[in-house]
Each structure stands twice: as structure tokens, then as C-alpha cells.
Structure 1
Amino acid sequence: MKKHRAFLKWAGGKYGLSDVIRKMLPQGDCLIEPFVGAGSIFLNTDYDHYLLNDINQDLINLYQILKEQPQRFINDAQRVFTPENNQPEVYYQLRSEFNASDDPYFRSLIFLYMNRHGYNGLCRYNKSGGYNVPFGKYKKPYFPQAELEFFAEKAQRATFVCEGYRDTFARANTGDVIYCDPPYVPLSKTASFTSYAGNGFGLDEQADLANAAEEVSTEQGATVVISNHDTIWTRKIYENADKLKSIKVARTISQKGNGRKKVAELLVKYNKK
């Protein structure tokens, strides 16, 4: 199977792990992702139907628009990727227009532009909901035309929703497969980066997600696979899982380039059938 990259740069994206994760996912009619992010697992699996959720409304609006108006959106987005727009003053002007706008189409165009022109491909909002990633200073930001086209084509099999993960779990039917890629448990107190949508995903939510996974596999007959850091604490909250697999992964996000070492990740599976 040819591997497909997401069109967005994304902290914690699963492109590099998609083969390992795919092997843990059983067959089924529908793959449900309560934390879809940039969609690498969606793009690198083959299910008849997908239910893709994220708490980030900008992300879901962008996906919905790309599904419904692919050619118009791709053409308009390409016009924003010009050398003239790859300047800090233009970036900050567009960012400020984005934060002032409530038009989903305009916000989707600028969201893609900021994702490729902003610092390190981060997606971050302040407490009042304003996008606040600084300018990235790239020589020539890449316009992901082929990736956008592939996503738009595959999105015809997907339903996109923006809600809490518990609501998405409630939609699962017997035989469905759920893959969860939540914000990870921090490895250290300074490494906590969970504000993708301005909402914290703390230890209470981590434990609740493990409970939800166990419930949906027992009561609704769905299989659930979750990714997280491999720590004493995550092993404790996932102690009722049916399978645990630890893998070493090279980290690509770090303040210091030399700090990019391998860390252990955990893949857990709840499968009560």
C-alpha cells in the first residue's frame, strides 16, 4: 500500500507509525477517530466508512470544505502561497484577519496558509481562542497540492464532526474500529503541550478516555486502539487493555535540535469480542 502524507504539518502526526498502527487495527466497516488531527491513519487505512472527529473547529471546517468544494478550495489556497505572502508583516496581518473572521471558508484558507508558513507547523490558540503561532521564516513553503487532492478524494468516504470524544464514542456500533490519538501524557513537567484547540487535556481526561475505551469495547462491541507515551502512569490507566505494545519512536519536536531522541510509545488495544 502506497503511503500518503497529510497535507498539514502536525505535532505528533502519525505518518511514521501508520504501518505499525494499521497492523493493530482489525477489519471492520467503519473506522472512528475521535482525535483525527492531520489524518495520517485515515489516509493510510482502507475502510468503507470513516467517522472523523476533532475538537478543533477550524480543522473540521477545513476538511468539510475540502470534501465539498475540492477544486475551488485548492485553486484559492494556491493563490495565497506566493513569495509576497511569505513575509512576516503579511503573515501577521492575515493571522489577525483570521482571528477577526467568522467565515469558515476564509478561515480554512488562512488556516492552511498559517500551517505551512507558521513556526514548526504548530497549531496553537490563546485563552481567548486567537491563533497565536508566530511566523516560521521558511524560504519557500510547500504547497501540498497532491496531498490536498488525495485527501479530498478519500474524504468522500468520511463524515466529519466536531464534538467531545465521549460523544464520538457514543456513535460506535458493533464491529466498528476506533483509533484514538489523544494529546499525549507529558514526559516531563515542561513538556506539556496540549493546547491544540485551547482546551487542556489533563490526567483526568486521559483516565476517562481509558474508561471510555473499555466501556465501548465491552458494551458496544467495538475495538479500540489508543496511542500514548509509555510511562508508569499510562500503563496503570490502561491496565485493563487486552494488548499492550511498546515501540521506540524518534521525536521530531524539540526546542533544541540535539534533543530529538527516541522515546517509548505505547499502543494499547481493547477488544472484548
Structure 2
Amino acid sequence: MANDGQIRPFLKWAGGKRQLLKEIRRFIPGEFDTYYEPFVGAGAVLFHLRPRQAVISDVNGELINTYCMIRDRIDELIESLSMHRNEREYFYRLRSLDRSSEFESLSDVERASRFIYLNKTCYNGLFRVNSQGQFNVPFGRYKNPKIVNEDVLRRVHQYLNDNRVRILHDDFAAVLTTARKGDFVYLDPPYDPVSDTASFTGYVVNGFPKAEQIRLKLTVDSLTSRGCKVLLSNASTPFIRDLYRDYTMFTLSAARAINSDATRRGKIEEVLVANYV
């Protein structure tokens, strides 16, 4: 593991793992070669482990562009972030950019800056798109959101540059084709919904239906046959428990934090699935 001091996620993310890090840490292998995380999201587990050699990816192109800009153009990104305003009209003007041709003219730094700004100022810090791929979370009305967290951004920048971290934008199965014996793979896919109204897979247009959960399980089988160590997080639903019935499974309790109704943000059961003890 790298010794880069405390690094924490630079985004709030639906399904983020900060609250479960102590539990997840108990199941991390003591030694491994390359770390893989193809559903990296806000990177809570990545930044907690700080592996010296890693491959990270996500299907959300705006997220991956933001990682790349933090790695490659941190000063420009911080300067751009400092120009944003926590104002309703300004928020909706930036939000609407992906509904016009103007979005295509944004630089990579401007896109990353917009992405972080919307995350810090939108309702509950969510990233969600509609069926046209347009960001559609309303203004959060926070009094003083920390749009520019320079210390966190620079720590992430240093970690990504001081270690061998490949940043990809690809399907999980494609990312994992290079994983070999001795590597460790952490999988945190969009969760199987616990009810018809509980699904949150809206950070990509097509979501993550059961067919994708099955394809992921087949990928876990392939990784296992190659000698990779795999740890997977998901909801504790009958479907997931049956799907991974041949693997070791642990149950955790986590707080639901993204429901629009605050009274329904209680504890839910999650599972950790492992192909090792």
C-alpha cells in the first residue's frame, strides 16, 4: 500500500462506501499484486487502500474525465472550480449545458469542473441522468457547500501521480480481462433493487438490470478460475443471495442515504461476497 496520508473521496456518491470501510477492510487480502476496481465511483475503497498499482474504471464518462483532470491538470481545475457560484439560477444554467450543443465545446477541465460543482451543490449530492443522458438532479439549496476542496483534490492528484494507477472508461468485463493470479478485484456495481421503487442506477442511461448482474457473476466465475481474489458488494436480496450461493457471503448493515424521503433512510442489509476466506 502507498503511504500518502489520509485521502478521502472528492465527491459524494450514491452507494459510496465510506461508512462501511471499517467492515470492508476486514475482508481485504493481506497481500495482492494489482488492485482492480471497475465500478470506482467516488473511490472510497481505492483511497482507503491506496494501492501502489491499480486499474480503475467506470462507465460514467464524466466521472472518469474528472479523475483524469485531477491527475493531469489540477491547477487549471482548481482555478475553474473557484469561479462557480452557489446560486440557483447559475446552477440550472450549468445543469442545462448537456441539453445543448454548447456542451460539446466545453474543455475537459470545464467538464470536470462542472461535474464537481453539480455534485457539491445539487440535491443530496447525487449524480443522476434521465433517459437522454441529461443530468436532472435539482438544486440543493445548501448555505455554504465546499465547492473547492483544494486539500482533498491535491491529495488525490498526488496519489494518482505517485503510483501506477491506470484510469479507464470501459465496461467492467473488458477492464478485467487483464486481471491475473495474485490480483485483487473489488466490485461495487449498482445494487440489485430491494423493491420496485428502490433502484438507483441512474448515473448511466441504461441502468444495471438483472441481466447485467448475471453477466457480472459470470465474470466473477472467470476471475476465480484465473486465481484472482474477488470481493463484491451488493444488496442482500434473494436474487443476489441465490446468484452467489456458491461463494462465501457476509451480511452488513448500512444506512440508506439517498432516498428523497428522509424518513426512509434507515438501515438496510448488504452483502459482501468473496471467493476466498
Assess if the C-alpha contact under 8 Å between 1:214 and 1:240 holds in 2.
no
For 1:262, which of 257, 264, 267 is the aligned residue? 267
Assess if the C-alpha contact under 8 Å between 1:98 and 1:107 holds in 2.
no
Matches within 5 A, 1:1-273: 4-26=7-29, 27-80=31-84, 85-99=85-99, 100-102=102-104, 103-142=107-146, 143-156=148-161, 157=163, 158-218=165-225, 220-241=226-247, 243-271=248-276
Gaps of 5+ in 1: none
Separation of aligned partners in 2, 1:232 and 1:167: 28
SS at match of 2:82: helix
**TM-score, length basis structure 1:** 0.92
Q: CA deviation at 1:22?
A: 2.3
Separation of aligned partners in 2, 1:192 and 1:72: 36
Mean Cα deviation higher: 158-167 or 102-111: 102-111
Assess if the C-alpha contact under 8 Å between 2:35 and 2:54 holds in 1.
yes
Separation of aligned partners in 2, 1:138 and 1:267: 34
AA in 1 matched with 2:233: S
AA in 2 matched with 1:221: G
Deviations 1:76-100 (A, max 9, x none): 21232xxxx2121111111223543
Separation of aligned partners in 2, 1:46 and 1:5: 10
Assess if the C-alpha contact under 8 Å between 2:70 and 2:157 holds in 1.
yes
Q: CA deviation at 1:46?
A: 3.3
Assess if the C-alpha contact under 8 Å between 1:228 and 1:266 holds in 2.
yes
Separation of aligned partners in 1, 2:205 and 2:214: 20
Assess if the C-alpha contact under 8 Å between 2:80 and 2:110 holds in 1.
no
Q: CA deviation at 1:5?
A: 2.6
AA in 2 matched with 1:110: R
**TM-score, length basis structure 2:** 0.91
Q: CA deviation at 1:240?
A: 2.0
RMSD, matched Cα: 1.7
Separation of aligned partners in 1, 2:172 and 2:52: 22
Deviations 1:92-143 (A, max 9, x none): 1112235431232211111111010111111111222222221111111113
Q: CA deviation at 1:155?
A: 1.3
SS at match of 2:18: coil
Q: CA deviation at 1:163?
A: 0.6
Assess if the C-alpha contact under 8 Å between 2:173 and 2:219 holds in 1.
yes
1:115–1:86 Cα change, 3 Å: same
Separation of aligned partners in 1, 2:6 and 2:263: 28
User: Percent identity of the aligned residues?
Assistant: 34
Q: CA deviation at 1:199?
A: 2.1
Assess if the C-alpha contact under 8 Å between 1:181 and 1:228 holds in 2.
yes
Gaps of 5+ in 2: none
Q: CA deviation at 1:74?
A: 1.7
AA in 2 matched with 1:207: I
Structure 1 stretches of 4+ with a deviation exceeding 6 A read: none
Q: How many residues align?
A: 266
